Structure 1
Amino acid sequence: MTGSSVPAELAARLAALTPEQRARLRDRVRQERRPRQRVLTPGQRRLWEAHHTTGGRPVDVVCQAVRLTGARVDLDLLAERIEGFVRRHEALRTTFEETADGVRPVVHAELPPRLLRTSCPDAEEAYALARELAHEAFDLAAGPLLRVVLAEGPSGDEAWLLVVVHNLVFDAWSFELLLDELGRAPGTAEPEAVPFSRFAEEQAAWSASEAGRAAAAYWAAEVADPPAPLPTDRPRGGATRRDGGRVEFSLPAAVAKGITAAAQQEAATAYAGWLAVAWAAFEEFGGSSDVLLGTFTAGRDRPGAEATVGYLLNVLPVRLRDPGDGGPAARIRAARAVSRAGLRHAVCPGELIDAPRRVPGTHPLLDAVFVFDNLGEGTRTVQGAEVTTADLDKGVARYDLTLAVHPGADGVSGWLEYDTGLYDEATARGLAERFVAAAERMSREAAR
């Protein structure tokens, strides 16, 4: 073979590739040129430690059931889209290796997801299958860390997509990106895929900068001299198994609109309104107006981060301690002020906050977390089928208490997740009822 014949042969081989094969080759070339993540992010480090502390139980595992109804869905096409999504996003091809120098991420050129095909006659069976997959321990060193079930439903116009994936490589925003990909119209261009390694490097550089140090100092001041942890039914000891239960609740659209209206009257967001409701409920539950909660931020402030799959979620403290006269307006104004001040430092990894251990377990500072999830408010379709998602109860508790609020067109649904080693169901139910009552009260008073 002469030197001049090599380019011609290569050109012929390239010309013979199918469009899909060319796309794979382009992805492979881009991947080889990308920087590789060298160390865990602070958030990943916490998740790694929690995974081993809890014996690999699915405390930090995404478990979503997606029901597709109203049109026949091509499951083979869905499988192709999922596999292509994994090829484009390096986080989903990442495993984690223990070395003498610590844990390091390993990005593989190829690491297909675990794809299963089956049928599910009803939601009960679909949910049970998703939970079973979530409780099957992940091998973080071997992977893959994404498991997907594509299931036919009881009729031709119903199907199920079950997504089980470790938080080390995925978060709620990543799930929305996956749904975007599955709903992308045929023939349209694939969206940009920004590698997680870029986010990890930029986060590390920022954290070491003057701005990063100033943000960490802000958060340290916010949590100085924290209030006592919330009361429990049983004493806190060391790390728990994190067995959990959930108490679900709902509120009608009129109450949700009342909370939003009350917030708007104080130039605040709906988040601040619901945070004020949570504050009132936890104050009554704990007996102190000084309430320290955790809250989630998307961590998508940097350019390109909105197109990145991985664990970018950030858990930060929110300190609520001056309710004024205790009325809705005063609470909302205080929640608005705290939230706005915190947003200026929201890119600071919560794990880097210098604070004394407040509670035992996987997070030394926070015993209760407030989640306001409005990512899925819009209507979605996949291949013409309507999308309905369910975040499944896996029987575990990430924190001692987690209060989640999900606004929708018909009102608000939510749940209170609790550690069953610390709380009885009756206690958790009582706290959920306090939250519902506080929301109804705030909505009524705002309408006056």
Structure 2
Amino acid sequence: MIADRQTLLRQRLVSAGLGGAAKAGSIPARTNPQQARLSFPQQHAWRYQQAHPDSVSNNLGLLITFTGRVDENAIAAAVDRIVERHEILRTTYHLGADGIPFQRIEQSMRVPRSFDSVSGDEATELAKAALRIPFDLETEAPLRLQFFRTGADEVMLALIVHHIIWDGATFDVLSKELERAYEASSVTLPDLAIQYADIAQWQRDNQTQIVPDDMEYWTERLAAPYPPKTLAVGAGLAAVDPEAAGRVDYRLTSSLELTRLASRHRVTPFVAFIACWASVLGKKSADEVTIGTTVLTRDRPEAENLIGNFANHIVLRLPVGHHPASAALIAASAAEFDAGFTHRNLPYESVVETLGGQEINAPPNLFDSLVVFIPSGTDGPRLPGATTQWQRLHNEATQFPLVPLGLEIFVRGRGAETTINIEATYARNAFDSETISELLSRLDSAIHDAVHEVW
């Protein structure tokens, strides 16, 4: 039966244009400069927004504080130059007459911005309110700016974006672009050799880029029977908006222990974290648990300095039956992540879609928690004469649509100065804050126990 399902999945992937040999070579400019097909990450975000037009789940808010002598008007002008340089910041999204969505690159598009003089607390509240306003991807720029003058030498910038243009590396790219445009205000910035829409169109024109090994791997890993959900969700909770979310901020007391655990087993802190999280989930499951994570497909040099969404989900399927020793589970987690990362280019949503009518018919069936590691080094834009601090804003919606629990792990410092903070965003129709706090406390204990080889 499993072999039959693997064959069926393979056939469906091929018919969807996701099979065959990889094509090498550089990515050319698209033939139509006004529009292009959507990339796979764009299409995922667009489809969700189409189905839920009032949703703010894909809204991301950053509040950046500049302390020193900065000019907010000069920052706004620098953003305008970045918008001119990066087409994706002046792109709208539409459904074609053939039923296929496409992106239209506008010749010019002014990013909405506002300027106010308020206190820091007022600025935060105004930014949070703006974050809860949905984007109309057909008519609006996917980026909004709010400037707050909070003191003679302090400016706060609320940067509100839609995930259709954003992944885990975009903030670094945008920060460098802003630094350059702000400092060289009188210098014309060079055109980019290639735009995000070029890559999206190339991806669609060459869908056979997915190598057979990728297809074979995920065919096997996603074969039924699939593990049940590992988290008990919704028990005893009143019905609420399925997107309504709460957030628990948690600092690991075992931050240094996690780094020691990773060093001992010669793995990354992420892998050690996944193993410990799997052990917590394993208390609620029989033989296997599944955990989602997000990886970036910015492998090609053309993508390195582009603003845009290059994210893809991969599924980690881990054995937890009979509560394996920490060393065994860490080794299994390392092998599972290495294999999944090697085969990361097969679009997750496309694989799920091809499984229609099978046991796996929607993303929530594959995993109910998603873990994203955000390493240190994301400093934000460094402007002359100022220091920079930034924070994520909570939009009161599920951070990863359709996933009940998202764990974003922020690693700061190195060595003995390492601190690890977790932002746990949970669906309020699935969990309450006490449950999440208890899970994170168990995670802390699991890390401690693994270091001391208690389990």
Moved more, 217-226 or 140-149: 217-226
Asked if 1:97 corresponds to 2:105, the answer is no
Provide the identity percentage. Answer: 24
TM-score by length of 1: 0.83
Aligned AA for 2:281? F
Alpha carbons of 1:258 and 1:424: their partners in 2 closer, same or farther (altered >3 Å)? closer
Gaps of 5+ in 1: 1-30
- Does residue 216 of the first structure (1) align with residue 215 of the second (2)? yes
1:316 to 314, 317, 321: 314
Q: 1:205, CA displacement in angstroms? A: 4.6
Equivalent residues in 2 for 1:29-428 (5 A)? 35=33, 37-69=35-67, 71-102=68-99, 103-122=101-120, 124-153=121-150, 155-184=151-180, 186-187=183-184, 190=189, 193=192, 194-209=194-209, 211=211, 213-224=212-223, 225-229=225-229, 230-234=231-235, 241-252=242-253, 255-284=254-283, 286-321=284-319, 326-353=324-351, 354-355=354-355, 363=364, 365-374=366-375, 376-377=377-378, 381-397=382-398, 398=400, 399-409=403-413, 410-428=418-436
- Residues 58 and 163 in structure 2, CA contact (< 8 A), matched pair in contact too: yes
Verify the 8 A CA contact 1:58 1:137 in the aligned structure 2. Answer: yes
Distance 1:364 1:53 in 2: 19
Map of 1:5 onto structure 2 = none
Contact 1:243 1:395 in 2 (8 A): yes
Query: Is this contact kept in 1: 2:407–2:424, CA < 8 A?
Result: yes
User: Deviation per CA, 1:135-172, whole angstroms, max 9, x where unpaired?
Assistant: 2121111111210112212x222211111111112223
4+ residue stretches of structure 1 with deviation over 6 A?
Answer: 31-34, 357-362
Note the C-alpha offset of 1:363: 4.9
Deviation at residue 348 of structure 1 after TM alignment: 1.8
Letter in 2 for 1:149: Q
Aligned residues of 1:235 and 1:422 also touching (Cα < 8 A): no
How far off its partner does 1:83 sit? 0.8
Task: Flag the 1:191–1:427 CA change in 2: closer, same or farther, 3 A.
Answer: farther
2:9 paired residue number: none
Distance 2:168 2:190 in 1: 18
Shift of 1:358: 6.2
Q: Which amino acid aligns with 1:200?
A: A
| Residue 443 (structure 1) shift | 4.0
Distance 1:227 1:96 in 2: 37
Instruction: String of CA shifts for 1:284-318, please: whole Å, max 9, x gaps.
Output: 3x333511111011221122111111121111211
Give, as a single letter, the amino acid of the residue that structure 1 aligns with 2:126: L
Answer whether contact 1:150 1:161 (CA < 8 A) is retained. Answer: yes
Q: What is residue 449 of structure 2 aligned with on the other side? A: 441
CA contact (8 A) 1:323 1:334 kept: no
Residue deviations 1:380-431 (CA, integer Å, cap 9, x gap): 6322322222111111113211112111025011121111112222222222
Query: Following the alignment from structure 1 to structure 2, what is the Cα–Cα distance between the partners of residues 378 and 222?
Result: 37
Name the counterpart of 2:25: none
Q: 1:403–1:415: 8 Å Cα contact kept in structure 2?
A: yes
Counterpart Cα distance in 2 of 1:181 and 1:270: 30
CA RMSD of aligned residues (A): 3.0
- TM-score scaled to structure 2, two decimals? 0.81
Structure of larger gyration radius:
1
User: Greater shift after overlay, 356-365 or 335-344?
Assistant: 356-365
User: Aligned AA for 2:349?
Assistant: E
Equivalence for 1:15? none
Aligned equivalents of 2:164 and 2:337: distance in 1? 27
Q: Distance in 2 between matches of 1:177 and 1:392?
A: 20
Deviation at 1:365, TM superposition (A): 3.0
Structure-2 residue corresponding to 1:19: none
Q: How far has the Cα of 1:34 moved from its partner? A: 7.2
Q: Residues 200 and 324 of structure 1: is their aligned pair in 2 closer, same or farther, counting only changes over 3 Å?
A: farther
For structure 2, which runs of at least 5 residues remain unmatched after alignment? 1-28
Q: What is the one-letter code of the residue matched to 1:81?
A: A
The letter of the residue matching 2:282 is E
Within 1, Cα distance between the matches of 2:30 and 2:292?
Answer: 38
Aligned residue number for residue 3 of structure 1:
none
Q: Is the 8 A contact 2:60 2:395 kept in 1?
A: no
Q: Distance in 2 between matches of 1:180 and 1:293?
A: 33
Q: Within 2, Cα distance between the matches of 1:365 and 1:417?
A: 18
Cα deviation for residue 362 of structure 1 reads 6.5
Separation in 2, partners of 1:218, 1:359 = 16
In structure 2, the CA distance between the partners of 1:328 and 1:191, relative to structure 1 (3 Å rule), is farther
